[in-house]
Structure 1
């Protein structure tokens, strides 16, 4: 049975039973049943399935591991976390996260990096839960922080440069929140620019040339400004971040030593309320479906243990207070909770079967030889006959270009070639794996999916980030086709090509006779917020799945935007568009009958009120 690397990336969130991918909780519903349930309600395009219990699982796992490390090393500081809203700010995710965070009694909060995100945090944060504000800020954003503090929020404004600190001081003076009224002033954090660098695609977010943070000289100036204006007591946190999806834990250890020493030095300089180190995000998850391509070299237990142990040793040597540990892991919390399901619309070689052969009484010799290869191929000669057929096809294409054979001969060559490929793969599927991959790389099948990679998997398009993908069903059958995946955008970049180093094999199905669905997993981090409306394809229809021991319930169903909604988001005047189209139908000389015009207008309005994803291919109707 093919498990598509589920044991590497699935972490027991999903299991395979009876040839189906099932959710490993409660009554263990299959993803196929969830999809068919949604389709029965009329949702035919791509679907995004959310599983709130997986958000809860990740949050509990994070707190559990750090709690264990704190207990193991007798660490006196507390552990707290915030979720960076930039990773996923979609309402159905945020509402679920906020509900889950209530169970952690002020230890789990939100991080904002813009005014809009800060408004969300102010609205939804629980009492006593932390809010951290990162990124560049203007005076208005800083004033929002003061408003949040006056509402009782435990908010920390992390300064990225001295100009922000000066603005904080200016707003504090204007609002008279210095001295006795300092309780209305937000806490202050400082992002430190470490010399240590991260690894991977996001390594540029650290190091001496990083976009954010204060260097040593600026730290000293910040301390002077805070002390001069009576705000040194508001400095409670230092913050650093060495990049998203940290694959190697070694750079983190180096950064922790550097940040820990900065923390101790600042306390010795008089930062008496400095009590927290925010280690940022970057805690990686495993995306790989292949053991030899693993994307991280550590476990969560090792990560938590190293952080706690190193910070304890540093401050012990400096004879300073063990700091509270803050973490901003967004990917780790959100990635696992969402699955994109895309229906397969077509296999591009599917039309090549014996019924499409139109052999003549007298065929060109190479066509006749290909027919002979097709009828006589077996397990012993499969590789030889496959290579011969591919050579014959190339020769026949050349002969067609030179005018020596006609279009029917060319068609027969294409059909026979694909029939031989299918037979050869069937004979060879139990042979040496590397040999299969070498052959199938040349004869890969192209699966057309009803989705947009630009909208739903932008990190694949932009960064070549892989995501686990597998069929939702037929897993008791061996997949035989090397697969390239095509989306429905009119862009050649909308393709996930077959990769011999990370091969994907799928089933040879006739989608005119049966449905075939692929699931893309671990898409809950960044993909929705970065998705682009290429070709005006919008966020797919989504739902949350609430699972119990007795069954499941599909909640928070949010339909994909209609065509008119998508146009309106781009500031088109949709009323004007409707008026123009209506007028053009009424003025059409090709539609003379008023009833025909009325019917045509009705059909047009129906289409405008639906989303832009395909209902089915015209050839399948």
Structure 2
């Protein structure tokens, strides 16, 4: 089973010899890299970053747009900036800048800290675009950037920001940053991020405000610094038609502003929204267009509008953050427990005389075979419902109830084993009713917040055993103390995993395409923090190299982030141990040492009864 890797994998990840491999260098298996880091003592969830995938996706952007610029004899130039809100983590940003040297690839910032990151790490000569609401201090940072010789554009979200720019220009003098105008389009995107565009969107200038902005710039003799217009109609735009509609509207606004005297206006920033294919299933694709179609439509439409309006063809800026970042990161999560495995024959406590329904269950268990598996499975589920009702009414005892649960789970396992080579849809009909619960050593709230908050799905699959048919319909549970920390089995998007004995072997799941937004939006629910991360590069011989490990925060660091006085916590705990009459004096030092060992570890689980993880 390939878990749809040919749909979402984009040849970044492949399956070879039953394992997920990285399509780079000597094609190492992810499971082998995981075993490597675990032998070094790193337990719990880990995040792997692959810089070569960042580079591949940036190259794809430039190759496609430059192809159509050449094919259509387009007069403008292609640029791209990465919006830092998508992933601000240093092991992403610094490697992205290394991988894109020599390209017209810069950074976009939407806050003061992001602007400081952009000013510090952007490659020389590449653009910085500043979006979002700004105060005088943030605008002053833009002027400082210009004085550093950087190619920076401050995009205006409201007329008050333009007035502040004019004020700071008088105070700080030349050189000035470039000025952009964010336009409020009537067009909007689709899906859960559609409100990013449209006439009622949070950002941008109306037509009336655009005319007023142009007048302010002319009156202040700053019109020559207006170089860009910008729009954004939403993230993860699944269809191409809203993009084309927005381009027509924005292209005409650009042409009109140019004709009204903005002769330095030469750039259109079309924002983000270039979608990523997250689906693992053939009939449920996330997008209905390709990068090739997207680039062709953008270049063709802007050329057509510019030619029809008799204005220069503008440079094209794009902020395709999700497209660049999503694929580069993989979250690897150990499975701690399969809940049904507590039910085995050794747990049966049959009496000399058992209730008739339990005797029938035992008979079903002993006589089930491939021919009667479905019938016996249904019978066992009916018997369980009846026996649980009898327990509620007081007619059977706790031992009988325990035997009921054990026998039904044993029947389920036998039935699935008999049916594993049957048609998958037949197996799915059964397992839609009966899911195995896999306990995973991670937090959905920390590492997959878009699943919890928006219902965004991510490709998930085992790292190995891919040459063995998986037989268990899987519900995934995280270790947070929250019922929302679950990815439930969905028969329309089924996930099947293997029935493994965790006392004998490890089993790891990989969550893919998690490099966009998940880290920056992750929350420390139950105080589970960012997993330990590694950057994986390849040497000249094609061997993988682990770089720049950042360990998950330990417990004291987590509490320090919450503004607890960790020294006070340590003092209080130590004093309470020393004052305890329950601990012998000669053992108190050892107990304090054990406590400090725990405080120096991260909050993820090291082991669970019955598990080797």
The TM-score range, normalised by the shorter chain, is: over 0.9
Show the counterpart of 1:76: 75
Give the 3-state SS of the residue equivalent to 1:427 in structure 2: helix
Gaps of 5+ in 1: none
The alignment status of 1:568 with 2:565, answered yes or no, reads no
The alignment status of 1:154 with 2:146, answered yes or no, reads no
Show the counterpart of 1:42: 41
Equivalent positions of 1:299-448 (< 5 A) are 299-448=290-439
Q: Distance in 1 between matches of 2:479 and 2:306?
A: 56
Deviation at 1:620, TM superposition (A): 4.0
Q: Distance in 1 between matches of 2:76 and 2:611?
A: 63
Show the counterpart of 2:281: 290
Show the counterpart of 2:499: 508
Show the counterpart of 1:118: 115
Equivalent positions of 1:174-573 (< 5 A) are 174-175=171-172, 177=173, 181=174, 184-548=175-539, 549-573=541-565
Give the 3-state SS of the residue equivalent to 1:148 in structure 2: helix
Q: Distance in 2 between matches of 1:280 and 1:330?
A: 9
Q: Distance in 1 between matches of 2:516 and 2:602?
A: 24
Q: Distance in 2 between matches of 1:550 and 1:569?
A: 40
Show the counterpart of 2:91: 92
Show the counterpart of 1:64: 63
What TM-score results when the alignment is normalised by the length of structure 1? 0.97
The alignment status of 1:140 with 2:126, answered yes or no, reads no
Gaps of 5+ in 2: none
Assess if the C-alpha contact under 8 Å between 2:239 and 2:289 holds in 1: yes
Q: Distance in 2 between matches of 1:450 and 1:36?
A: 16
What TM-score results when the alignment is normalised by the length of structure 2? 0.99
Q: Distance in 2 between matches of 1:480 and 1:103?
A: 49
Residue-pair matches, total: 611
Q: Distance in 1 between matches of 2:269 and 2:97?
A: 21
Q: Distance in 2 between matches of 1:421 and 1:619?
A: 21
Deviations along 1:11-48, whole A, 9 cap, x unmatched? Answer: 11111111111101110111011101100111011000
Q: Distance in 2 between matches of 1:154 and 1:555?
A: 31
Show the counterpart of 1:583: 575
Deviation at 1:619, TM superposition (A): 4.5
Q: Distance in 2 between matches of 1:228 and 1:614?
A: 64
Show the counterpart of 2:604: 613
Deviation at 1:429, TM superposition (A): 2.6
Deviation at 1:173, TM superposition (A): 1.5
Q: Distance in 2 between matches of 1:75 and 1:429?
A: 57
Q: Distance in 1 between matches of 2:226 and 2:405?
A: 72
RMSD: 0.9
Q: Distance in 2 between matches of 1:570 and 1:101?
A: 37
Give the 3-state SS of the residue equivalent to 1:546 in structure 2: strand
